[in-house]
């Protein structure tokens, strides 16, 4: 049991013993740096039940705790804040209890918490993965890892948007302008090649629209009836009808794209347990709408279209089936959610990693699933996130001005290489080791910069600023891990024995306290679906370690017990840094 849990119980006991009253909860917080103490009991919330002077109440509870709790060495009360000094023995005992625990802070999956499916990435097969997808992938992957570390079974999935008019646009442009070009003949990744044809379609379409307007056709008609657009619509109709030639072309070009996606995912360090394809899910949900009609969840308008009225929930009416019987996105999302639970019966929750422009869509989706009677619908979460901008401005995929994920990864690796070379810290590294290190630093910088921000906030991503070896950055944290590994390599003495009695220096105590907070950081990050809480925990831990490192001699300590304990402490900090960063999908090097 952690000291906070012990103190909460004992404060409740103290209030009952001293005042004959019952508290249902106790507010605890870390003691502010300027005051003596480790944990603070906030007295003010108790004044609803306990009438009296907060200073006096604090002193009386402090006396009780000092007399009845072995771990409380002393206390002081400042303006209604009861600051408790915890014994060195407690912190030393705690440290010894976690020192050899592998993946300390992680919770094993016992099956009690149930399985969660996390959806992320979900790209279109008409263009490469870009900067916007990167934030999506990093968030989804990291939240999956955090939920696992909190004891959930997790299935990572994506819905690949492999059908629709936008896919046909790339196919038609390749047919018209491609001259049989393949990824191999072009020397391009398949997703990039197909993306080029999406851009080529748009250029031809704009050209045709301009020509038609010039010939006197009104703008709206020119746009709707441009020959190349009509051809793309005809191609879509053929695909939906199962035309052999069209489906064969679709399969071939999608195959190129999937191979390209897989290469990018591997470089980015993300993976999936299950894949869904829109070409297989777009007809799902119609049977559910029929059932919902019979049960009165939906209603039919005179034109035959089917709707749901959510005005009582503060929303409006939402279409779920068109008058001609065709599905809308909402229909297939309803069907896909239900299908996933059929495919993975142990799922009792789902997380959808989708940009904040879809906030309304997911409010409606979750409400509909609840009204249809699915118990697991109470455990659906939209991991909504803001856009990523670059200093150069927004991205437009039709015009080919998207920041390609592969190009950004290359830029991050190159920038990491040039900055590392300038710092001159690579003596003794082979060329292969340097390449691996640059990749680790570059990807670590990218991931950390994006994940340290609350998902809901918009980000202005500056590649150079992210690869800074000082401040709240990935490389700063990676460098601290490498520094600790260097200390461990230089420790030419046996440091495995347990130190049973030891007077902690203030900075040692602060570092142990910071380690104690790791399980809670994981729990909070899992509950909030926020990797930012892990990123900022890692940064705070590293700052605390660097303060310890700069002010206390580790290997040069006079006493053997000091040397041993400090090396053990540094080693545990390195393990927690590694485990914390792993939850963000970031590797930490042993040398930098």
List, in order of start, the domains of the chain with CATH numbers.
3-86 (3.30.1360.70), 164-269 (no CATH), 405-582 (1.10.730.10)
The closest alpha carbon to 197, from 159, 224, 235, 225, belongs to 235
DSSP SS3 for 130: strand
Reported as a pLDDT band with limits 50, 70 and 90, residue 484 is very high
Phi, psi torsion values for 380, nearest 5 degrees = -100, 140
The closest alpha carbon to 581, from 461, 459, 441, belongs to 441
User: Could you tell me where the beta strands, DSSP code E, fall in 21-175?
Assistant: 28-30, 39-42, 72-78, 81-86, 115-119, 153-160
Dihedral over alpha carbons 40, 44, 48, 52 (to 10 degrees): 110
- When the pLDDT of each residue in the chain is averaged and rounded to a whole number, the result is 94
Place of tokens 């640059």: 438
Q: Is it the case that residue 1 has pLDDT exceeding 80?
A: no
Q: What is the pTM of this model?
A: 0.93
Which of 48-52, 146-150, 386-390 holds the top average pLDDT? Answer: 146-150
DSSP H helices, 309-462, are 329-343, 359-371, 405-423, 431-451
**Interatomic CA distance for residues 370 and 372, integer angstroms:** 5
**Residue 461's pLDDT is what?**
86
Give helix then strand counts, H and E, for the chain.
22, 14
Reported as a pLDDT band with limits 50, 70 and 90, residue 15 is very high
Going by C-beta distance under 8 Å and a sequence separation of 6 or more, which residues neighbour residue 119?
140, 157, 158, 159, 350, 351, 352, 353, 354
**Interatomic CA distance for residues 90 and 72, integer angstroms:** 9
**Interatomic CA distance for residues 573 and 164, integer angstroms:** 51
Residue 308 near residue 298 (C-beta atoms within 8 A): yes
Reported as a pLDDT band with limits 50, 70 and 90, residue 391 is confident
**Interatomic CA distance for residues 66 and 73, integer angstroms:** 6
pLDDT, tens digit, 9 for 90 and up, residues 297-309: 999 999 999 999 9
Going by C-beta distance under 8 Å and a sequence separation of 6 or more, which residues neighbour residue 20?
none
| pLDDT more than 90, % of the chain | 89
Beta bridge partners of 124: 161
Burial class (CB in 10 A: 0-12, 13-18, 19+), 460: exposed
DSSP state string for 251-290: HHHHHHHHHHHHHHHHHHT---SEEEEHHHHTTTTHHHHH
**What's the rounded mean pLDDT across residues 81-109?**
96
Residue 40 near residue 30 (C-beta atoms within 8 A): yes
Burial class (CB in 10 A: 0-12, 13-18, 19+), 247: middle
Q: Look up residue 168 and give its DSSP letter.
A: H
Burial class (CB in 10 A: 0-12, 13-18, 19+), 369: buried
Least reliable range by pLDDT among 351-360, 410-419, 512-521: 410-419
How crowded is the C-beta side of 105, counted as CA atoms within 13 Å? 28
Residue 543 near residue 68 (C-beta atoms within 8 A): no
CA-CA distances (angstroms) from residue 290 to 296, 297, 300, 335?
Answer: 10, 10, 10, 12
Going by C-beta distance under 8 Å and a sequence separation of 6 or more, which residues neighbour residue 521?
105, 533, 534, 537, 580
The distance from CA 463 to its chain's CA centroid, rounded to whole angstroms, is 19
Beta bridge partners of 41: 28, 82
Buried-state track 18-43, b at ≥16 Cβ within 10 A, e below 16: ebeeebeebebeebeeeeebbbbbeb
H-helix or E-strand containing 140? helix 131-149
Please state whether beta strands 317-321 and 347-355 pair in parallel, antiparallel, or not at all (unpaired). Answer: unpaired
**What's the rounded mean pLDDT across residues 489-508?**
94
**Residue 220's pLDDT is what?**
95
Q: What angle do CA 201, 206, 211 make, to 5 degrees?
A: 125
**Residue 245's pLDDT is what?**
97
Q: Look up residue 376 and give its DSSP letter.
A: G
Q: What angle do CA 45, 46, 47 make, to 5 degrees?
A: 90
DSSP SS3 for 39: strand
**Interatomic CA distance for residues 226 and 369, integer angstroms:** 40
The structure tokens listed for 118 are 């996390």
**Residue 131's pLDDT is what?**
86
To 10 degrees, what angle do helices 474-490 and 560-582 make? 140
User: Could you tell me where the beta strands, DSSP code E, fall in 377-512?
Assistant: 380-385, 388-389, 459-460
**Residue 419's pLDDT is what?**
86
pLDDT, tens digit, 9 for 90 and up, residues 444-457: 999 999 999 999 99
**Interatomic CA distance for residues 584 and 473, integer angstroms:** 13
pLDDT, tens digit, 9 for 90 and up, residues 467-483: 888 899 999 999 999 99
**Residue 465's pLDDT is what?**
86
The distance from CA 568 to its chain's CA centroid, rounded to whole angstroms, is 31
Residue 418 near residue 554 (C-beta atoms within 8 A): no
Reported as a pLDDT band with limits 50, 70 and 90, residue 392 is low
**Interatomic CA distance for residues 144 and 150, integer angstroms:** 10
The structure tokens listed for 137 are 């992938």
Q: How many CB atoms lie within 10 A of CB 229?
A: 20
**Residue 400's pLDDT is what?**
47
**What's the rounded mean pLDDT across residues 225-233?**
97
Place of tokens 């991991």: 383
Taken as a whole, the chain contains a residue count of: 592
**Residue 422's pLDDT is what?**
80
pLDDT, tens digit, 9 for 90 and up, residues 403-425: 889 989 999 999 999 888 887 77
């Amino acid at each position: 049991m952690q000291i906070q849990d012990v103190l909460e119980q004992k404060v409740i006991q103290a209030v009952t013993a001293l005042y004959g009253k019952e508290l249902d909860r106790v507010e605890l917080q870390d003691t502010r740096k300027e005051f003596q103490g480790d944990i603070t009991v906030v007295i003010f919330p108790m004044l609803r039940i306990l009438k009296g002077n907060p200073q006096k109440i604090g002193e009386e509870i402090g006396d009780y705790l000092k007399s009845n709790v072995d771990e409380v060495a002393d206390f002081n009360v400042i303006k209604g804040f009861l600051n408790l000094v915890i014994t060195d023995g407690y912190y030393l005992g705690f440290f010894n209890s976690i020192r050899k625990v592998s993946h300390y802070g992680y919770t094993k999956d016992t099956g009690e918490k149930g399985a969660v499916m996390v959806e992320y990435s979900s790209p279109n097969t008409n263009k490469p993965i870009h900067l916007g997808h990167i934030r999506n992938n990093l968030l989804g992957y990291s939240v999956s890892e955090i939920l696992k570390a909190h004891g959930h079974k997790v299935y990572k999935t994506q819905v690949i948007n492999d059908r629709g008019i936008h896919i046909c646009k790339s196919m038609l442009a390749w047919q018209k302008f491609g001259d049989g070009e393949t990824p191999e003949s072009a020397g391009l990744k398949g997703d990039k090649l197909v993306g080029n044809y999406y851009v080529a379609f748009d250029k031809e379409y704009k050209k045709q629209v301009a020509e038609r307007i010039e010939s006197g056709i009104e703008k709206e008609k020119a746009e709707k009836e441009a020959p190349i657009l009509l051809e793309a619509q005809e191609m879509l109709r053929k695909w939906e009808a199962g035309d052999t030639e069209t489906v064969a072309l679709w399969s071939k070009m999608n195959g190129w794209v999937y191979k390209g996606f897989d290469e990018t995912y591997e470089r980015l360090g993300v993976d999936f347990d299950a894949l869904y394809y829109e070409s297989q899910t777009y007809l799902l949900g119609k049977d559910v709408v029929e059932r919902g009609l019979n049960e009165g969840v939906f209603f039919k308008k005179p034109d035959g279209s089917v709707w749901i009225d959510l005005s009582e929930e503060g929303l409006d009416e939402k279409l779920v089936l068109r008058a001609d019987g065709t599905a809308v996105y909402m229909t297939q999302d309803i069907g896909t959610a239900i299908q996933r639970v059929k495919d993975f019966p142990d799922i009792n929750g789902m997380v959808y990693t989708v940009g904040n422009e879809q906030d309304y869509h997911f409010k409606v989706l979750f409400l509909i699933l609840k009204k249809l009677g699915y118990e697991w619908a109470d455990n659906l979460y939209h991991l909504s996130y803001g856009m990523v901008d670059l200093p150069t401005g927004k991205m437009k995929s039709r015009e080919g001005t998207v920041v390609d994920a592969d190009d950004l990864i290359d830029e991050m690796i190159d920038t990491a290489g040039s900055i590392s070379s300038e710092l001159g810290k690579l003596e003794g590294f082979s060329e292969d080791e340097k390449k691996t290190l640059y990749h680790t630093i570059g990807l670590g910088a990218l991931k950390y910069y994006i994940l340290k921000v609350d998902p809901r906030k918009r980000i202005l991503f500056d590649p150079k600023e992210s690869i800074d070896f000082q401040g709240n950055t990935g490389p700063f944290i990676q460098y601290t891990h490498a520094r600790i590994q260097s200390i461990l390599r230089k420790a030419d003495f046996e440091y495995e024995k347990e130190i049973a009695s030891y007077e902690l220096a203030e900075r040692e105590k602060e570092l142990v306290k910071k380690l104690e907070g790791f399980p809670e950081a994981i729990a909070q990050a899992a509950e909030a679906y926020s990797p930012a809480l892990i990123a900022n925990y890692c940064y705070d831990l590293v700052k605390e370690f660097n303060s310890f490192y700069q002010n206390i001699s580790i290997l040069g300590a006079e006493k053997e017990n000091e040397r041993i304990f400090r090396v053990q402490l540094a080693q545990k900090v390195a393990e927690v840094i590694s485990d914390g960063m792993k939850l963000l999908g970031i590797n930490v090097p042993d040398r930098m």
